[in-house]
A and B are shown apart, each in its own frame.
Chain A
Amino acid sequence: MKIYLKIWRQKDAASKGKMVDYTMEGIEGDMSFLEMLDILNEELITKGEEPIEFDHDCREGICGTCSLQINGRPHGPDTMITACQLHMRSFNDGDTITIEPFRAKAFPVIKDLIIDRTAFDRIQQAGGFISVNTSGHTIDANSIPIEKEKADDSFYAAACIGCGACVAACKNASAMLFTSAKVSQFALLPQGRVEATDRVLNMVRQMDIEGFGNCTNTGACEVECPKGISLENIARMNREYLSASLKG
């Protein structure tokens, strides 16, 4: 396949970026999207040019590191996958593919396609945990009976890999789906109820401080989430937040 690429190039956080055109020939449908970028980078290095920086780690859809806006959609045209799981067979010979970093004020570009997602870490640090004494007297989590339905919902929420596709897809760059998944995974379990009030208040406050937008329930985040995190989590977080605010 012959593929035409338009890729965002930005020297560093302070520089202004621009789209740069590249042409790739001999691309196989069985190549992963990131392999295609690897080949492009090898060509650039051979020519003595600066390779394109992009984030990746596990390359099997688990780590949430890859963060590419491909043809206007986070992680590309297919659903329920990350960019590393996207294959070139999803494109046709002669296609033009636009590749940009995820865009949000709270996710500043570091270089080319790499963004700083530590805003998510700070939201998590604000309350996305339970306080457990791990000094050797830790109680087995399985000793507390939990309804199957709640355990399942908690598990589904915990499947969030924090890739940021929800923010990238949202027209408001809202982080509600991410934050709500992290609130929900604990709110649904008895171990998480103990600190539930402070957790939701602190995590939402941090989310607002980071400068993410407001949710307008378009549902774009749910469609683009590679792990299928549901909007039900946002409704749950809203309930948790309102009840915590009234208590506080």
Chain B
Amino acid sequence: MTKLIQSSIARKVVMALSGIFLVLFLALHFTINFTSVISPDTFNEFSHFMGYNPVVQFLMQPILIAGVVIHFVMGIILEIQNNRARGVKYVQFKGSANAPWVSRNMIYSGAVVLAFLGLHFYDFWLHEMAFKYVEVNPEDPTRYYAETVEKFAPIWRTVLYVISFGLLSLHLWHGFASSFQTMGLNNKYTPAIVNFTKIYAVAIPLGFAFIALYHHFNPIIH
């Protein structure tokens, strides 16, 4: 097992598996968030369940945090190793001639997504922890929609979220299909996986951006 962890392929598989786990989580997160546009009551119900269900809070949430930490720590380790592997840098290196920009700049799109996660945790997760465990407020299953709308009132936050979703899109565009290649899946289904990746990489971040913009502009319009 130690040998497995030390190998380059195993490290890549860790990246791929944690990445796919996070991709699946994104779909769940998006589904719940989207209810806020359709029905505030349903959104409140879902949010309250996620916030107070012990399985979600004390099993799924730590697994999710571990998945995020593993993915970015391993990403940074791989990036450092990859930089070292070149040794003396090229005077001229035409990376654009043979590989798309997104695949060559995963570390940058990933860094923006990581910075966004910091802001997102500060905005919602830390607030939630303080509400429940520091201030020890009583349960209020109706507060979530109003809190979300309030968060998106400042334009700077909405813009930062939308920009981050753009970078998330680029990260998914390469990362999702790439995970299957890493795990050894390159066969007749690969074109379908690549096409699905492209749809997912555009649709999910676009949906998240729409939700952020909706909650910013909806109170202004009405």
Q: Which residues of A contact B (CB under 8 A)?
A: 6, 8, 17, 19, 69, 71-73, 77, 98, 100, 103-106, 108-109, 169, 171-174, 176, 204-205, 207-208, 211-220, 223-224, 231-232, 234-242, 245, 248
**In the complex, are the beta carbons of B90 and A213 less than 8 A apart?**
no
Could you say which of B78, B91, B93, B181 contacts A8, with CB atoms under 8 Å apart?
Answer: B91
**In the complex, are the beta carbons of B87 and A103 less than 8 A apart?**
yes
A109 to B88, CA, bound (A): 10
**In the complex, are the beta carbons of A242 and B184 less than 8 A apart?**
yes
A238 to B82, CA, bound (A): 18
**In the complex, are the beta carbons of A173 and B7 less than 8 A apart?**
no
Q: Which of B38-46, B64-72, B94-102, B155-163 lies at the binding interface?
A: B94-102
Taking CB atoms, residues of chain A closer than 8 Å to B178 are 216-217
Q: When A and B form their complex, which 6 residue pairs have the shortest distance between CB atoms, in order from nearest?
A: A213-B85, A72-B94, A239-B184, A235-B186, A105-B87, A172-B82
- Given contacts A72-B94, A214-B8, A220-B98, A105 and B103 within 8 Å (CB-CB): no
Taking CB atoms, residues of chain A closer than 8 Å to B84 are 105, 211, 213
**Could you list 15 further interchain pairs (A-B, Cβ under 8 angstroms) beyond the known A214-B82, A215-B12, A242-B184?**
A6-B91, A72-B90, A104-B85, A105-B86, A174-B85, A205-B3, A207-B8, A211-B85, A213-B85, A220-B98, A232-B187, A235-B185, A237-B9, A242-B183, A245-B10
A44 to B174, CA, bound (A): 47
**In the complex, are the beta carbons of A214 and B98 less than 8 A apart?**
no
Decide yes or no whether B148 CB sits under 8 A from chain A. no
A211 to B89, CA, bound (A): 15
Taking CB atoms, residues of chain A closer than 8 Å to B7 are 204-205, 208, 241, 245
Give the distance to chain A from B165, nearest Cβ to Cβ, in Å.
23
Taking CB atoms, residues of chain A closer than 8 Å to B8 are 174, 176, 204, 207-208, 212, 214-215
- Given contacts A6-B91, A214-B11, A216-B78, A171 and B104 within 8 Å (CB-CB): yes
Decide yes or no whether B113 CB sits under 8 A from chain A. no
Taking CB atoms, residues of chain B closer than 8 Å to A218 are 98-100, 103-104
Taking CB atoms, residues of chain A closer than 8 Å to B185 are 235
- Minimal Cβ-Cβ distance residue in A for B87: A105
**In the complex, are the beta carbons of B181 and A220 less than 8 A apart?**
no
A17 to B89, CA, bound (A): 12
**In the complex, are the beta carbons of B186 and A232 less than 8 A apart?**
yes
A108 to B98, CA, bound (A): 24
- Given contacts A173-B82, A204-B9, A214-B8, A103 and B88 within 8 Å (CB-CB): yes
Decide yes or no whether B137 CB sits under 8 A from chain A. no
Q: Is the interface of A mostly helix, strand, loop or mixed?
A: mixed
A98 to B190, CA, bound (A): 37
> Can you name 16 A-B residue pairings with CB atoms under 8 Å?
A17-B88, A98-B91, A103-B86, A103-B87, A171-B104, A173-B86, A212-B8, A214-B82, A215-B12, A215-B182, A217-B182, A220-B95, A223-B97, A234-B181, A237-B9, A248-B3
- Count of B residues near A, CB < 8 Å? 41
Q: Which residues of B contact A (CB under 8 A)?
A: 3-4, 6-13, 78, 81-82, 84-95, 97-100, 103-104, 106, 174, 178, 181-187
**In the complex, are the beta carbons of A72 and B92 less than 8 A apart?**
yes
A6 to B186, CA, bound (A): 40
A177 to B216, CA, bound (A): 48
**In the complex, are the beta carbons of A235 and B103 less than 8 A apart?**
no
A216 to B106, CA, bound (A): 9
**In the complex, are the beta carbons of B85 and A223 less than 8 A apart?**
no
- Minimal Cβ-Cβ distance residue in A for B185: A235
Taking CB atoms, residues of chain B closer than 8 Å to A73 are 94, 97-98
Could you say which of A108, A213, A245 contacts B86, with CB atoms under 8 Å apart?
Answer: A213
Taking CB atoms, residues of chain B closer than 8 Å to A173 are 82, 85-87
A172, A176, A211, most chain B CB atoms within 10 A: A172
Give the distance to chain A from B23, nearest Cβ to Cβ, in Å.
15
A17, A72, A108, A231, most chain B CB atoms within 10 A: A72
Taking CB atoms, residues of chain A closer than 8 Å to B13 are 238, 242
A232 to B186, CA, bound (A): 6
**In the complex, are the beta carbons of A235 and B181 less than 8 A apart?**
yes
**In the complex, are the beta carbons of A224 and B98 less than 8 A apart?**
yes
